[in-house]
C-alpha cells in the first residue's frame, strides 16, 4: 500500500496534488518518467508522469485533473489513506545536458510534468526560459515552483486575467525571434504541443514533447499507447513518453484520444482554428 502524506487542491478543486510514500520508486525515478496507479479494485490503471520526487523522504508527487470515474476515486482519497498499487518508474528519462538556452512550455496539468525537467535543465547549467499557460488565472498551477525551477518565467492566459493575454505560442514566437534557442520542450494538451512544435520547426529549433496516449499495461505488451513518429509505430510507455516534436503525427494521436470523449475532439478543433 502507498500512503498519501500530503494532499492539495488546485485550480478550484479540479486539479489535485498527492505526495505518496514510495521509497523504492523515489530512489530510482528520473525526470520525464511516469508511474501507473490504481486506487482500489474498482479503479482503473492510470498513468501519470511524476511532478516531483524526494529521495530523502522516499516520496513521489503526482498532480492530476479529475476527469472521470477513476480520477474521481483518486480525489476522494484522504491523507493517511493509500493507493492499492503504484508501479514504476516507467518510460525513458529525459536526456539532460548543457546546451544553451532551453525554452520549456507547459499548459494545463502538463506544467506538473514539465517541472522536474525544467529544474534538471537549469541544474545542468542551461539558461531556462519557462512559459506556462492556462485558460484563466484560476486554472494556473505551480507558478511558484516553475519560477524557482527556471531562470525566467512567463505566464499566458487565454482571457488575459493574469500575465500576458494570448497563447503560449505568442510568447514563444517573441523569444525565438529575439535570441538563439537550443531546444524547446513542450508538455500539455495535444494541440498546444503540435503548434509549439510547428513554431519551433519554423525557426529550425529542436522540439521535444511528452505524449499522453491511451495506456493500459505500461510495458509495451498491449499496444494501446501506440503513436506514429517519423512514419513508424512507437509505444509511448517504452519508447517514450518523450519524442521528437517535429516527427509526431498529432492528428492520429488526437483521433485515438477521441475514441473515448467528444470533449477532446471539440477542444482540438477549436485550438487548431484559433492558430490559423
pLDDT tens digits, 131-169 = 999 999 999 999 999 999 999 999 999 999 999 999 999
CATH of the domain at 262: 3.40.50.80
Q: What domain range is 9 assigned to? A: 2-90
Is residue 35 over pLDDT 50?
yes
Name the pLDDT band for 262 (thresholds 50, 70, 90).
low
Please tell me whether residues 218 and 133 are part of one structural domain.
yes
96, part of any domain: no
Q: Are 240 and 211 in contact (CB under 8 A)?
A: yes
User: Within a domain: residue 95?
Assistant: no
Helix extents (H) in the chain: 23-26, 69-76, 110-123, 143-149, 168-178, 190-202, 236-239, 250-257, 262-275
The tens digit of pLDDT for each residue in 73-93 reads 999 999 999 999 999 999 999
DSSP codes, 23-71: HHHHTT--TT-EEEEE-STTSPPEEEE-SEEETTTTEEEEEEE--SHHH
Asked if residue 121 and residue 86 are part of one domain, the reply reads no
pLDDT over 50 at 255, yes or no? yes
Let me know: does 204 contact 198? Beta carbons within 8 Å. Answer: no
Torsion sign, CA atoms 63, 208, 104, 266: negative
Residue tagged 516507467 (cell numbers): 90
Looking at residue 261, its pLDDT comes to: 58
264 vs 130: which has the higher pLDDT: 130
pLDDT score recorded for residue 125: 97
* pTM attached to this predicted model: 0.89
Q: Among the three residues 59, 90, 121, which one is the final residue of a domain in this structure?
A: 90
Residues 267 and 171 in one domain: yes
Q: How many domains does the chain have?
A: 2
Q: What is the share, in percent, of the chain residues with pLDDT greater than 90? A: 78
Q: Answer whether residue 263 shows pLDDT above 60.
A: no
Residue of higher predicted confidence among 71 and 201: 201
Reading the block at residue 127, the C-alpha cell is 539558461
Task: Tell me, yes or no, whether 114 lies in a domain.
Answer: yes
Q: Are 107 and 84 members of one domain?
A: no
142 and 31 fall within a common domain: no
**Residues 74 and 120 grouped into a single domain:** no
| Same domain? 165 vs 253 | yes
Amino acid at each position: 500500500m502507498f500512503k498519501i502524506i500530503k494532499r492539495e487542491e488546485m485550480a478550484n478543486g479540479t486539479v489535485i496534488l498527492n505526495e505518496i510514500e514510495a521509497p523504492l520508486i523515489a530512489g530510482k525515478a528520473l525526470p520525464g518518467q511516469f508511474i501507473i496507479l490504481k486506487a482500489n479494485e474498482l479503479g482503473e490503471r492510470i498513468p501519470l508522469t511524476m511532478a516531483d520526487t524526494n529521495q530523502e523522504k522516499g516520496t513521489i508527487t503526482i498532480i492530476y485533473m479529475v476527469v472521470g470515474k477513476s480520477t474521481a476515486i483518486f480525489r476522494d482519497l484522504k491523507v493517511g489513506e493509500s493507493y492499492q498499487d503504484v508501479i514504476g518508474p516507467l518510460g525513458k528519462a529525459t536526456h539532460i545536458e548543457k546546451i544553451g538556452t532551453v525554452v520549456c512550455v507547459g499548459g494545463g496539468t502538463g506544467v506538473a510534468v514539465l517541472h522536474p525537467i525544467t529544474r534538471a535543465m537549469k541544474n545542468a547549467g542551461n539558461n531556462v526560459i519557462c512559459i506556462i499557460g492556462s485558460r484563466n488565472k484560476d486554472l494556473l498551477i505551480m507558478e511558484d515552483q516553475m519560477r524557482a525551477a527556471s531562470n525566467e518565467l512567463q505566464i499566458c492566459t487565454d482571457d488575459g486575467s493574469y500575465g500576458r493575454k494570448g497563447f503560449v505560442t505568442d510568447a514563444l514566437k517573441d523569444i525565438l525571434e529575439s535570441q538563439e534557442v537550443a531546444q524547446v520542450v513542450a508538455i500539455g494538451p495535444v494541440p498546444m504541443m503540435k503548434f509549439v512544435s510547428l513554431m519551433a520547426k519554423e525557426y529550425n529549433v529542436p522540439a521535444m514533447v511528452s505524449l499522453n496516449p491511451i495506456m493500459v499495461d505500461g510495458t509495451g505488451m498491449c499496444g494501446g499507447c501506440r503513436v506514429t513518429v517519423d512514419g513508424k509505430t512507437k509505444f509511448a510507455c517504452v519508447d517514450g513518453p518523450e519524442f521528437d516534436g517535429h516527427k509526431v503525427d498529432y492528428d492520429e494521436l488526437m483521433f485515438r484520444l477521441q475514441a473515448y470523449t467528444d470533449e477532446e475532439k471539440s477542444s482540438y478543433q477549436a485550438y487548431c482554428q484559433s492558430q490559423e
